Structure 1
Amino acid sequence: MRIIRKPVLCNYYVTYRCNASCYFCDIWEKPSPYVTVDEVKSNLLALKKLGVRVIDFTGGEPLLHQDIHLFLKLAKELGFITTLTTNALLYPKKAESLKGLIDMLHFSLDAYDKEKHDKARGVACYDFVMESIRVAKHLGEKPDILFTAMNDNMNELEPVYQNICLVNNLVLIINPIFDYNQVETGGGLTPENLQIISEMGKRKNVYLNEAFVQLRRDGGNKISSPVCKAASASLVISPHNELVLPCYHLGKKSFPIKNNLEKLYQSDEVRELIALEGRMPECEGCAINCYMQPSFAVEINKYFWKALPSTIKYNRIKGTWRNL
């Protein structure tokens, strides 16, 4: 049963450019412009009218954009919940300008072992994560550690939790790896590793959306009865100022926004593509977290109930429930 029929989240790609080259990502390989302040202002106003509550300013590396603080300020002034994930290379330099503007700030860290983390990210960013934690805490910010769980780094999960998250009173977000396009991620997590992260998710200061685990155990999205609501529960805006449908990773079609996002989203051509969400051949078996998370929130089914306890837990820790 569908309970929310408006989009709740916007994945706003401010640039595809990145100062890292993670082996499990291909976004950094794409040429990309930067979005403009005028585009963002116009689109945020339209997103507000469409009912969106959360803006995820993403990339690439979003802190590469020199105006990212202005985008966040605009979003906060309009009452959006803001979220941003960074590899932390630029955070110490930009932290002062970002203070108080990000409700959910995530620092990516995939290993307690410095060499292992830097190798996976293709750049020496481990020390910047450690410095960013120090700087953020000094400014009164409450960052999270976003750990991308892969079969080859599961032994790093406990040390990151014990030695970085608990000692700094940070939330550990477990982000299960997912396959997409032609990116070699090493495959999905084994049943044994799914069980490990499931148990880990029950611990203090750990957030794991248990519905992610259940979806993987079920073999991902089924086009015959799709759980994916990527196109109706969320919107994707590209650095080219285009609306991308049904999601970034599939990207079947891009529509130039031209200062008219609200009308575009409600157009017949866009609505026809939205109606195909989760039903295209490429959607079979999909388990991409950033689109499943909002999908679980808008329709009551077994994944809704699996996601609910961890969602409540995280929002209680972060205090974001007050804005919902």
Structure 2
Amino acid sequence: MRLISHPVLCNYYVTYRCNAKCHFCDIWEKPSPYITLKDAEKNLIDLKKLGVKVIDFTGGEPLLHQQLPELLTLAKKYGFITTITTNGLLYPKKAHLLKGLIDMLHFSLDSFDQKNHDEGRGVACYNKVLESIEIAKSLGEKPDILFTVMNNNIEDISKVYNQITLPNNLILLLNPIFEYGEVGGGLSKQSIEKLSKWSNQKYVFLNDAFLTLRQDGGNSIDNPVCKAASTSIVISPKNSLILPCYHLGKQEFDINGELTSLYQSKKIQAIIAQEGKLPECEGCAINCYMQPSFSVEINKYFWKALPSTLKYNYWKGTWKNAFFTKSTL
């Protein structure tokens, strides 16, 4: 049974440019412009009309955008929950400008070992993450550690948890790696079993539905759990609407200041109707699209995801806005 029929999340790519070269990501290889404030404000107004509640200003590295504070200020003006994920390289320089504008601030850290983390990210950023934690805390922010879980770093979770997140009163987000195109990868059965033991730990966010979906073999095109196109709106740095999702990205449509009418048009709705049913969707388990998919339709994944989702929004203080606010201007 479908609970919510409108999109709830916007993945707003402020730029594809990045100052890291993570081995499990290829976005940094793409040439890219930066979004403009003029386009962003018009799109934010339309996103509000469409029912979106969360804006993930993403990239690339979102802190490369010189007007990110202004973008976040606009998002807060229109009542959105905001989220940013950063490698930490630029945060120490920009922290004061970002203060109070990010509801969910994530610092990426994939190993307790500096050498391993920096090699995986393709740039020396481990110490910047630690510095960013201290600066964010001094400003009264409540950042999270986003740990991308792979087969070769799963044993590091304990050290990061006990020696970094707990002493700093941070939430540890455990993000199982996913595969798309020719990058990323999967988790072994043994890794999934090890990871599942972390789901009930204090100040750990782990969506059990992610693990269940992987155990089930990912999305099935015959009975798709993926609702990526109807729950998430993806906007590119070129101010285009990407469908059915960023990672598949089969089609792009120029927005031209008319996001609402474009999204509601017959041609876009026809594409949305094929979400999770395309041949390329078979076996997909991409977290950033499954998280909203799990929240809009009652099935076993909904119930698996519900406890961690409620717990995290309670921790962050966003639960009222996420679940009970109206989506009108």
TM-score by length of 2: 0.97
Return the offset for 1:322. 2.4
1:246 aligns with 2:240: no
Return the offset for 1:198. 1.2
Query: Alpha-carbon deviations, 1:169-207, whole Å to 9, x = none?
Result: 000000000000111x3x311111111111112100000
2:101 matched to which residue of 1?
101
1:223 matched to which residue of 2?
221
Unaligned runs of 5+ in 1: none
Matching of residues 279-294 of structure 1 within 5 Å:
279-294=277-292
**Counterpart Cα distance in 1 of 2:318 and 2:187:** 30
Matching of residues 135-284 of structure 1 within 5 Å:
135-183=135-183, 185=184, 187-284=185-282
**Counterpart Cα distance in 2 of 1:301 and 1:233:** 16
Query: Alpha-carbon deviations, 1:259-311, whole Å to 9, x = none?
Result: 10000001111001000000000000000000000000010000000000111
1:117 aligns with 2:113: no
Kindly, what percent of the aligned residue pairs are identical?
66
3-state SS of 2:212 partner: helix
Moved over 4 A (4+): none
**Counterpart Cα distance in 2 of 1:294 and 1:148:** 19
**Counterpart Cα distance in 2 of 1:317 and 1:196:** 25
1:84 aligns with 2:91: no
3-state SS of 2:167 partner: helix
Unaligned runs of 5+ in 2: 323-329
3-state SS of 2:85 partner: strand
**Counterpart Cα distance in 2 of 1:270 and 1:286:** 22
Query: Alpha-carbon deviations, 1:28-80, whole Å to 9, x = none?
Result: 00000000000100100000000000000000000000000111000011000
Return the offset for 1:89. 0.3
Return the offset for 1:108. 0.2
Return the offset for 1:317. 1.1
Matching of residues 309-324 of structure 1 within 5 Å:
309-324=307-322
Equivalent position amino acid for 1:208 in 2: L
2:40 matched to which residue of 1?
40
**Counterpart Cα distance in 2 of 1:201 and 1:90:** 31
2:73 matched to which residue of 1?
73
